[in-house]
Structure 1
Amino acid sequence: MTGVETAARHGLRRRATAGALGLVVLVYFAAWFAIMLAGLFGGPIDYRMAGSIVLAGAGTVLIVGIPLIAAWVLAGRGSPPSIRLEPWLRVFLVVSVVMLVGVIAWRGVVSPFAPVATRLDPACASLDAAGLAAHWPADTRELNQDDTDFDGDLTPYSICGWTMKLDAKPPAPYVGVSARVTRFDGTGTSSGLAAAIRYFRGDLDDITSPLRIDDIGDEAYATSSTTSAEVVARRANVVVSVEFSLRGDSSGPDPTIAVTAARDLAGRIVAGIKVR
C-alpha cells in the first residue's frame, strides 16, 4: 500500500469516525430534547414526537453514512472501514441513552394503543343529561350560549352557557354557569392524548392553589373564589370544564356548594365520554 493510499484510508477512517461522533451527538441532544419537553409540558413522552426524533436521527445517519460508504466503495476498497469509538465517546453515548430511558421511566410514554374518544356530545345536552336542573332550576335561568364546532381541524369543541333570569321568583341561585367540552385530535408529530395532557397541566400550572380531585376521569382539579367555582377534568384526549359564576355576597350559595355542584356535573359529563 502506497503512502497516498494509506493517507486516503486514514482520511476515510477519520470521516467515518466523525460520522459516528455526529450520531452520538444526535442521540445526546435527542435525550436532552426529551427532557426539555417533559420539563416544559409536564407530561409523558409522546410516541409521535419521539417517532419524529427517531426519523430525524435516522435521516441524519443516512445523510452522514451513505456518502462515507459510497466514497469507500467507489475507491475500490471493498467494505467500509470499521468505526472505533473512543472511550469517552462510549461513555457519552451510554450517559445519553441512560438519560433518555430515565426520562421515559419518570414521565412515562403516551402509547399508540391508549384509548381515546373519537366523538363528542354537545355541551348543552351533556350539561342537561348530567343533572343541571338538580343544582339550578330551569325556570330561573336562560340560555345565552350554545356553540358547537365539531369540524375544527385539531380541537373540536362545544360550549354551553346559562345566565340567571333577573325577574325570577325565587331569585336564581347563581349568576351563570358554563360548560366546555374539548377533544384533542393531535397532529403528525403530537398525539391527541399528549396534547390534552399538556393543555390540562399547562392550565393547572398557572393556578396558585388548585384542589386536586382523584375520582373524576384521569385527572381533575377545582378552583374557587367569592365570585366563581370551577372544576376542570380530563379523560383520555377530552378536557371538560364546568364553572359557576357567583354573586360574591351572602345572597347566593357558598363557594363550597358551587364547587360540589360543578364537581358533580363535570364528573357525570366525563363519565359519559366514550373511549376506545
Structure 2
Amino acid sequence: MEKLIDFRELDKVYDGKTDRAFDGSHAIKIIYSKENDIQLKLGKRNEWLAKDEIYITAYRGRMTVDSPFGSDYSVFFIRFKSRAEERLLNRHFNIKPSQKMLLDAVVSECEIRKTNPSSEISQLMIKSLFEQFFLTLFRDNIRLERIKRKNKTDDETVKQVIIYLKEQLGREIRFDEIVKKAGLSSTGLKTLFKTYTGMGVISYFNHLKIERAKQLLSEGELNATQVAGILGYESIHYFSRQFKKIEGISPSEYIKQIHSLD
C-alpha cells in the first residue's frame, strides 16, 4: 500500500522579495507567503496568498510570483508520493507557527547542505522535516473536515427544528416534544439552538407565534381574540401579555398603529 506521504527529493528552494518567473518544472511547488500578499500566475489562473499562507501545486508550466509590497516568500520545488495527493494539490493552507518552523528549518538545512551536497544527514533531515510538515497538514485537514461535517449536521438539525416549530404555531408546545424531534439531549439542543439563533427554543417559538400574529392582525380580517385562538393561546389575556412582552405594545395598540398608516 502506498504511504500517506513518501518524500523523495528537494530540487531547490528560492527565497526572495521581488517578482520572479520560474521555468516549467515537473516538481511539485510549495509557495509560502511570509509577509504581505503575493500573487501567483499559473498560466491563465491567478492565486493570491496572504501572510502565513501556502499554496501547493503540481502545475508544470511557467509560473510567476508577483510581490507588489516587496514581501518575503519562499518557493520549494519538491518530489513526493502520496496516496492522498488530492488533499494537498492545488489548495491553500494557513500554516501554524509550528509548521512555519519546519519550513524555516528546511531552508536552514539547505544552507548547511551547500557546504556538503552529498551529505546523507542533510538529505535525511530534509526528508524528515518535510514529512513532519505534510503529516501536520493532513492532520489539520482531517480535523477541519470533521468540523465541517459536524457544522453541516448542526445546520440541518437547527433547520429541521425551526421547520417543526413553524408547523406547530397553532398550539402550545412543550420543550420535551422538541427535544424528541431533534434527537438530542435537552442540554445539547439548548446549547446548539442558542448558538445558531441567539435565543432559547421556546423563546424562538414564541417570537414565531407573535410574528404570525402580527401578520394576521395586519391583514385586518381577524380581531385579537380570533388570532389568539388560531395560534393556540389559552386566553386573550395570555396572548396579550406575550405580544406586549415581545413587541412592547398590546395587540390593540398594534392594530391602531396599522390603521393609522392606512
Q: Say whether the fold is shared (TM-score over 0.5).
A: no
Q: TM-score range by the shorter chain?
A: under 0.3
User: Higher helix proportion, which one?
Assistant: 2
Q: Which has the larger radius of gyration?
A: 2
> Whose relative contact order is higher, 1 or 2, with alpha carbons under 8 Å and at least 6 apart?
1
